[in-house]
Structure 1
Amino acid sequence: MLKLVALGFGQRALPSALSLGRSAIQQPTLCVSRTAYQQTFTRGIRDASNRGSFTRRVVNVRQVEEVQQSLKRKIGPMEVGQLAVCGGAVLGLGSLCYYGLGLANEPGAIDRAAVWPQYVRHRIRDTYMYFGASVAVAAGSAMAVFRSPAGHKFFAFCQRRPILSTVGIIAAMIGTGQAMMAVPYSPGLGTKQMLWLLNCGILGLVVAPVGALGGAIALRAAWYTAGIVGGLSTVAACAPSDQFLKWAGPLGIGLGGVLVASIGSMFVPATTTLGLSLYSISLYGGLLLFSAFLLYDTQKIIRKAETHPVSHNPYSGWSVAPFDPINASHHIVMDALNIFIRMAQILAMGGNRRK
Structure 2
Amino acid sequence: MLRTSVASCLRQLNNPLVLRATQHPPISVRTFSSFQPTLLSSTSRRPLSPAFFKQTARTLLTDAAPVVSRPASQEAWKRYGITAVTVAGTVIAVNAFFNRETRDSLSATERSYLHESFMYTGGGLTLTALVARSLFKSGTAFRIMSANPWVVLGVSLVGSIGTMMGVMYTPPENTVLKHAFWLGFNACQAATLSPLFFLSPAILSRAALYTCGVVGSLSYVGATAKNDTYLYMGGPLLAGVTVVALSSLAPMALPLGLRGLAITEAISLYGGLAVFGGFVLYDTQKILQHARMAQAGAIPRDPLRESVSLELDMINIFIRLVQILAMQQNRRK
TM-score (norm 2): 0.71
1:284-313 per-residue CA deviation (whole Å, 9 max, x = no partner) reads 1111110011111111111111222456xx
> 1:147 & 1:19 partners in 2: Cα distance?
14
Partner in structure 2 of residue 335 of structure 1? 313
CA distance in 1, matches of 2:90, 2:154: 36
Greater gyration radius: 1
* 1:152–1:354 distance in 2 versus 1, CA, 3 Å: closer
Tell me the equivalent position of 1:307: 293
Q: Quick one: which of 142, 148, 166 aligns to 2:138?
A: 148
Q: Does residue 261 in structure 1 map to residue 247 in structure 2?
A: yes
In the alignment, does 2:295 pair up with 1:296?
no
The letter for the 1-side match of 2:130 is: G
Tell me if 1:167 matches 2:160: no
Matched, 1:322 2:300: yes
Matches within 5 A, 1:3-82: 3-11=5-13, 12-15=15-18
Structure 1 residues 192 and 16 mapped into 2: Cα distance closer, same or farther (>3 Å)? closer
Cα distance, 1:17 vs structure 2: 6.4
Match of 2:105? Answer: 112
CA RMSD of aligned residues (A): 2.8
Letter in 2 for 1:13: P
For residue 287 of structure 1, what is the aligned residue in structure 2? 273
Q: Secondary structure of 2:301's partner?
A: coil
- Per-residue deviation, 1:2: 4.0
Give the superposition deviation at 1:205. 1.4
Q: 1:183 aligns with which of 162, 166, 170?
A: 170
| Kept in 2: contact 1:184–1:321 (CA 8 A) | no
SS in 1 for 2:105: helix
Q: Which has the higher helix share?
A: 2
CA contact (8 A) 2:223 2:285 kept: yes
> How far off is 1:213 after superposition?
1.5
Match of 1:226 in 2: 212
The residue identity in structure 2 corresponding to 1:340 is F
Structure 2 residues not aligned, in runs of 5+: 24-88
Instruction: Go from structure 1 to structure 2 and tell me whether the alpha carbon gap of 1:148 and 1:304 turns closer, same or farther (over 3 Å shift).
Output: same
Residue 119 and residue 239 in structure 1: after superposition, are their counterparts in 2 closer, same or farther (change >3 A)?
closer
2:124 is aligned, of 134, 137, 149, to 134
Equivalent in the alignment of 2:55: none
Task: Tell me which of 211, 233, 236 is aligned to 1:250.
Answer: 236
State the Cα deviation string for residues 17-59 of structure 1 (Å, max 9, x = none).
6699xxxxxxxxxxxxxxxxxxxxxxxxxxxxxxxxxxxxxxx
How far did 1:13 drift?
A: 1.1
**1:172 CA displacement:** 1.0
**One-letter amino acid of the structure 2 residue matched with residue 153 of structure 1:** R
- Give, in angstroms, the shift of residue 3 of structure 1: 3.2
TM-score, structure 1 normalization: 0.67
Contact 1:4 1:170 in 2 (8 A): no
Q: Structure 2 counterpart of 1:178, which letter?
A: M
Structure 1 gap segments, 5+ residues each: 21-89, 312-319
Q: Residue 180 of structure 1 contacts residue 196 of structure 1 at CA under 8 Å; is this kept in 2?
A: yes
Q: Is the 8 A contact 2:21 2:195 kept in 1?
A: no
Match of 2:41 in 1: none
| 1:96-135, Cα deviation, whole Å (9 max, x unpaired) | 12456xx42xx42xx232xx2x443322221111111111
Aligned in 2, Cα 1:10/1:270: closer, same or farther, shift over 3 Å? farther
Q: Which moved more, 1:287-296 or 1:261-270?
A: 261-270
User: Is residue 221–residue 281 contact of structure 2 (8 Å, CA) maintained in 1?
Assistant: yes
- Structure 2 CA distance, aligned partners of 1:246 and 1:6? 19
What residue is the counterpart of 2:58 in the other structure? none
Tell me the equivalent position of 1:33: none
Distance in 2 separating the partners of 1:303 and 1:177: 21
Identity %: 31
Q: What is the aligned partner in structure 2 of residue 41 from structure 1?
A: none
- How many residues end up aligned between the 2 structures? 265
